[in-house]
Amino acid sequence: MSLPPRPLHLAVALDTPPRPGATDRHDAADHHAADLDAAHFVALARLAERGTLDFVTLGDSFARPGLDALAVLARVAPTTRHIGLVPTVTTTHTEPFHVSTAVATLDWVSRGRAGWDRLLKKVVDAYETLKANIRAGNLGPAGSKRRRRAESKPIVFRPGAAQPFDDRCLSWQHDARTVSIWTLRGRLRGIQYAGQRDQLATLAKYRKGESDLVHRDGKWFLAAVCEVPEAPRFEPVDWIGVDRGIVNLATTSDGDNHSGRRLGRYRRWQQRKRAELQAKKTRSARRRLRKRNRREQRHATHVNHKISKTIVTEAQRTGRGIALEDLGGIRERGRLSAPQRVRLSSWPFHQLGEYLAYKARRAGAPFLEVDSAYTSQMCPRCGHTERNNRPDRDTFRCRRCGLAGPSDLVAGVNVRNRARSAWVLVNGPVPKGT
């Protein structure tokens, strides 16, 4: 089945006239006067209209010298008939209310031909991020199902996507726990916010940069950026190897086991409840499904926070570093049955690794990721690697030296040993003559 053809829209970005090297201050003054003249942009826009292009764009005055983009295109609008006019207008130095008013004025002057390329920039940034992920291999190798799906589907933004606000558009009153925020209807003042005590203390002390306004489940959330300084990293006396799994979420080389049995049982219970509510197809069932949305995800996040906090606290107390096995691309390594795919896709190993990494940085503990190949099949004593060393999921028994124990513990010890070698290789003295 062939897809219907998509319309192709052609556009061009307007730019300032070319600047030859100025030999004296009179030449520089002439070029500066040309920058302040909109006739150059009028000629370019009319040329683009004769070329049957769909629209033209013009960058803001902070990216180029000269007049404001809105002012220039307001001058261009009466001289053109059908071409679209899309300026780049930032809300960093101008309030969003005034920006929306100016864009609406340009749209009225041009009789419905105005736009605002904040959306275009957001789309371009999204595709640049997708390209970077593909180049880094985060979506699997070429030809993998996950990568084909990401490349074939267009990027779609949700209607309730996050909206960024900077300090000029959003101000925080930490003592009163209120915010003042600009909207399309003007500034709203005295809006109260709530949060946990430690989060409010971090917000008041380390908040910096933009804040995102998110509408989720009928509630409004402000996601603020906080730059918390990292603790000085200490020299580790040894390492804690961490093996991640589905049955056991994390097993350390010290023998500490964080079982995933309760989390798995909770996920299966949530899956049964969702199936029961989806089968009813009533209004109350849909309302309960929305209410239960993301509850499972929040529970898994809470479990990962507890596990990572326990491991980092132990590493900080004993002066050791934390080592993980690199599990990148594990979901594309083999073909699995449907129940196995459900368990693997709901396995939050990446989130646990991210939590361990940032908590280790805050505590000053070194953090490493090592190769994960054969960590559960290699004997940590003699180095013999064989598939038969692991007769079942929970047991390890070396076929050469007879070492036996829990397979997850053996994997954690192998991760610790590889971290020792990697740390010495990276931080050891440079040989002479190299």
What is the reported pLDDT for 126? 77
Packing angle between helix 118-136 and helix 145-152, nearest 10 degrees? 160
Residues 213 and 329 in one domain: no
φ, ψ for residue 406, nearest 5 deg: -65, 135
Q: How far is CA 159 from the centre of its chain?
A: 18
Domains in the chain, number: 4
What is the reported pLDDT for 24? 45
In a domain, 195, yes or no: yes
What is the reported pLDDT for 20? 52
Distance (Å, whole) CA 226 – CA 209: 8
Residues 93 and 194 in one domain: no
Residues 249 and 390 in one domain: yes
Domain of residue 313, CATH code = 3.30.420
In a domain, 140, yes or no: yes
What is the reported pLDDT for 355? 94
What's the pLDDT tens digit per position in 310-360?
A: 999 999 999 999 999 988 766 666 566 666 666 666 677 888 999 999 999
Q: What is the mean pLDDT of residues 66-78?
A: 77
Q: Please, is 212 exposed, middle or buried when counting C-beta atoms within 10 Å of its C-beta (0-12, 13-18, 19+)?
A: middle
Residues 126 and 109 in one domain: no
What is the reported pLDDT for 324? 93
In a domain, 286, yes or no: no
Q: What is the mean pLDDT of residues 42-50?
A: 82
Q: What is the 3-state secondary structure (H, E, C) of 63-77?
A: CCCCCCHHHHHHHHH
Q: What is the reported pTM?
A: 0.65
What's the pLDDT tens digit per position in 214-263?
A: 888 788 899 998 988 888 999 999 999 999 988 889 999 999 999 888 88
| Beta strand spans in 101-169 (E) | 163-165
In a domain, 157, yes or no: no
- Measured over the CA atoms of residue 199, residue 203, residue 206 and residue 212, the dihedral's sign is positive
What is the reported pLDDT for 97? 59
What is the reported pLDDT for 382? 92
Q: Which domain holds residue 407?
A: 239-259+297-427
Q: Report the chain's C-alpha Rg in angstroms.
A: 29
Residues 75 and 196 in one domain: no
- Of these ranges, 17-26, 54-63, 140-149, 273-282, the one predicted with the greatest mean pLDDT is 273-282
